[in-house]
Amino acid sequence: MDAPIVAVENITKVFKDQISLPVRALTDVSFQIQEGEFVALCGPSGSGKTTLLNLIGCLDQPTRGKVFFDGEEISRLGQQALTRYRLEKIGFIFQDYNLIPTLTALENIEYVLWLQGIPSAQRRKRALVICERFGIAKLVTRRPPQLSRGQQQRAAVARAVIHKPRIVLGDELTANLDHKTGTELMDFLKELNREEKITFIYATHDPMIMARASRVIRLEDGQLVDDLRQY
């Protein structure tokens, strides 16, 4: 078996509450994820799912333990190196989409390429191609408030994958969508996973979303309690 794209080793994360008391979000969590997997992180609210995503996504660092990406330990890198990892290798789909309301859908999708310094004409061409594929080509001049929730979600997914990241991280992807739109979104992500070999890791407590994962990692009270490959 090839080396894992992501590995977490004995991860513990402790926060301080409002009166500076320690709150343990994760305790001694370890697992590996191979490239191309479609993984659901499951568990009730407060189980540590989002904290774990933030550690994998270089948005936070563990109190103890190590996080590896392609064999390189990223958990102790400096902020400049972590920013580079996020920009080049990771895509994010946030629960509230985080689209910039003053930019058009196309400008939002181009945004990561702009941060990478890609010339205007080149990033516009790539963004238009991905909008066509994602079924939002006729909406590119609209701003986020003029889009439906499903259209906003597609724009957010397009932004997350336009720079061809190695992994995409998602947090409660369907929380604000109706069942039909949520199902369509997950089927679309599965298609991207199969065709582009992008590794998807997403947090959810929705049974429908869990069922579409090829692997389910379950957390309770900050601890890993189950790791099941479904097919």
**Number of structural domains, the chain?**
1
Residue 1 lies in a domain: no
CA 96, CA 144: separation in Å to the nearest integer? 11
Residue 50 lies in a domain: yes
pLDDT value of residue 183:
82
Its pTM stands at 0.90
Q: What's the CATH code of the domain at 136?
A: 3.40.50.300
Q: What strand order describes the sheet that includes 90-93?
A: 90-93, 167-171, 199-204, 38-42, 215-220, 223-229
Region 174-194: mean pLDDT is 82
- 231: confidence class by pLDDT, cuts 50, 70, 90: low
pLDDT value of residue 16:
81
Strands 199-204 and 38-42: parallel
Mean pLDDT of the chain: 90
Cα 145 to chain centroid distance, Å, stands at 23
CA 127, CA 159: separation in Å to the nearest integer? 8
Range of the domain at 90: 6-229
pLDDT value of residue 48:
93
pLDDT value of residue 56:
94
Per-residue pLDDT tens digits for 118-141: 999 999 999 999 998 888 999 999
